[in-house]
A and B are shown apart, each in its own frame.
Chain A
């Protein structure tokens, strides 16, 4: 397990893009631009047709990627082709994990016994580990249902990142923190993903609830600017997760027909702004939270 290392020395900047948005080749350039701009971990979205936790910005990115032909196998090729030296995390929905690598054995065994003999999440995790993915985030998999995936992640050395919502308290929080590894994704406000103009008070409350736990806390949902990143880190976060504000740049470039290298430059600049904001936030903290 190793994603913790990305948070060890300074606050981590964790950008998200939907892999393959708006197409495979451009998306490779965009992810590499984020690494140049200072990303410490990169979350790559593997698009699912029913993304119930996403706001409009990322829903549209998922539609673009799927229409351009993204599949789980293409996604793994994509990861192998990337030339970046930061840890990669796959963010996707459970059905794609659950179905992967299983269709042939399933129909065979159905014919034989009339029952499904799914291997569950294991083949997906095995493949992800083989191409160099270091962690998974699965927004529709609460701790209650995560046992088989946690087991597979342990077997292949992947971290399993859980999302802590503003409504996650008491026993639920304890149960989740027993299963989490790498970092916790602290959801800054209720709702779905999407860039916002302000930073919610719920963030500080969530960070306070987690302060006793020795796992890096990365805050996401709504962070749009370097100033947001600064405020979140100065409030005690070990990292910031930014998705929609970056996807907006991809979407705008796609709609305007801008050259890929120009869009990549914009992403790199935005990444730098967010990373610099996070660093300023850490400098403002009297005592960094890391132990």
Chain B
């Protein structure tokens, strides 16, 4: 684990608690609960969490040797299979931990934000499992575009509240959930979806996700007799990233690569307030958003930019403060690949290894394809989520491009239905983080 004090709200200069005063008492209460239940296992909280992760979630997930990719790159490639966790992504580790913690704290109600719905569906599953009422905030345009995830949340018994103000994207959904919390803080817990937000959320979410690297490190030693040379994970808000890195941070011989979404370009359009990427660690500036000082995509005035990625789950203008700090300390290497490379990697992993990855995850494999000579002889890649949720996006985006690797989808022409006839243009935002349900 990275070495830090549970009570210190900062990671170097990053982190902190930049929230309205009305929330501060709840944040102090949460900090106390984090200390007692998560760090000190009071009342056996962590034992119950681990047991439920095993029985309900299906942990541990395997570390699998990737035969075809290993041959292709002449490098031993191991896959940490978080896509096999219940729900199909790493998101459940955090959602289950926080909903269980809310129960221990005596809270009566769960709220969460979601963009395209991945964190929302994980939270809805956890809330149903633990019998807690749950409301999810989601932009109204995303609701229209992500109907299957809305159905999943509703089927699990959660309310879905449309966010109509502003542009109706993920950052508006986070802001709206914070507003709900400022009103209902006395009986409600806000299950934030990534290692973002005010202290103690970044540390707490990391600790719930750290089970990924705890397992992966042991599994790697067991299978290879030592530590890997490199660990790769995609990075949006950063919860799968930090979960995959946490137990390797002190292993300074292991290179840690955070692969961000380069989108369509790393150039920003300051006039329009748009950054056509989500490469916050690579290109962002220090600032304050959603409760934390971190790296942000912002204009020179400090207004937050609209980010973009073909992968909804990476599409966020901020990033976890701990990752920002580890990048400044040269412990984590921030890299990025663009939409095209990620799409190619999506098809390659599907065809070569029989694993359809989330588009978020595909970014990590895109980097491996481009830079496999630089990552050493043994590499662990986190498969943060499965890609079933992305199929419509992938078909639409593939049809716009001339990708040699993509399968021929003209079968639809012969049955009179274009594969993209139901697609709707712009990409939706996803919940922060790199996973997918």
Contact B165 A59 (CB under 8 A): yes
Tell me the complex Cα distance, A209–B121, Å: 42
Residues of B close to A145: CB separation below 8 A: 16-18
Docked-complex contact A99 and B328, CB < 8 angstroms? no
With the chains together, A168 CA to B22 CA distance in Å? 7
Interface residues of A toward B: which range? 35 or more
A34 to B298, CA, bound (A): 33
B16 / chain A contacts, CB cutoff of 8 Å: 144-145
A20 within 8 A of B: no
Bound complex: CA A192 to CA B178 (Å): 10
Contacts A60-B165, A95-B298, A95-B302 hold; do A144 and B22 have CB atoms under 8 A apart?
A: no
Q: In whole angstroms, what is the CA distance A89 to B173 when docked?
A: 29
Main SS at interface, chain A: loop
CB contacts (< 8 Å) of A63 on chain B: these are 165-166
Across the interface, B19 reaches (CB within 8 A) one of A142, A164, A176, namely A142
Which B residues from 318 to 334 make CB contacts under 8 A with A? 328
Does A86 belong to the interface (CB within 8 Å)?
A: no
Contact B185 A167 (CB under 8 A): yes
- Name B's A-contacting residues (CB within 8 A): 9, 16-22, 24-26, 28, 165-166, 171-172, 175, 178-179, 182-186, 273, 285-291, 296, 298, 300-304, 328
Set of chain A residues within 8 Å of B288, measured between Cβ atoms: 93-95, 98, 140
Q: Is the CB of A99 within 8 A of B298?
A: yes
Given contacts A52-B20, A59-B165, A191-B182, contact A100 B302 (CB under 8 A): yes
CB-based contact B21/A142 at 8 Å: yes
Given known contacts A53-B20, A94-B18, A141-B18, A172 and B287 CB-to-CB distance under 8 angstroms: no
16 intermolecular pairs with C-beta atoms under 8 Å apart:
A48-B303, A49-B304, A52-B20, A73-B301, A98-B302, A99-B285, A115-B328, A142-B19, A142-B21, A145-B18, A162-B21, A165-B20, A169-B25, A190-B184, A191-B179, A191-B183
A195 to B: closest C-beta gap in Å:
15
CB pair B20–A163 under 8 Å, yes or no, is yes
In the complex, what residue of chain A is closest to B9 when comparing beta carbons?
Answer: A144
**CB-defined contacts of A162 to chain B, threshold 8 Å:** 21
A interface residue numbers (CB < 8 A to B): 48-56, 59-60, 63, 66, 71-73, 93-96, 98-100, 103, 106, 115-116, 118, 139-142, 144-145, 162-169, 172, 176, 187, 190-192
How far apart sit A98 and B293, CA to CA, in the bound complex (Å)? 10
Q: Which residues of A contact B184 (CB under 8 A)?
A: 190
Q: Could you say which residues of chain A place their CB within 8 Å of the CB of B290?
A: 50, 52
Task: A59-B165, A99-B301 given; name 4 further pairs at CB < 8 Å.
Answer: A48-B302, A95-B296, A144-B17, A165-B20
Least CB separation from A92: chain B residue: B302
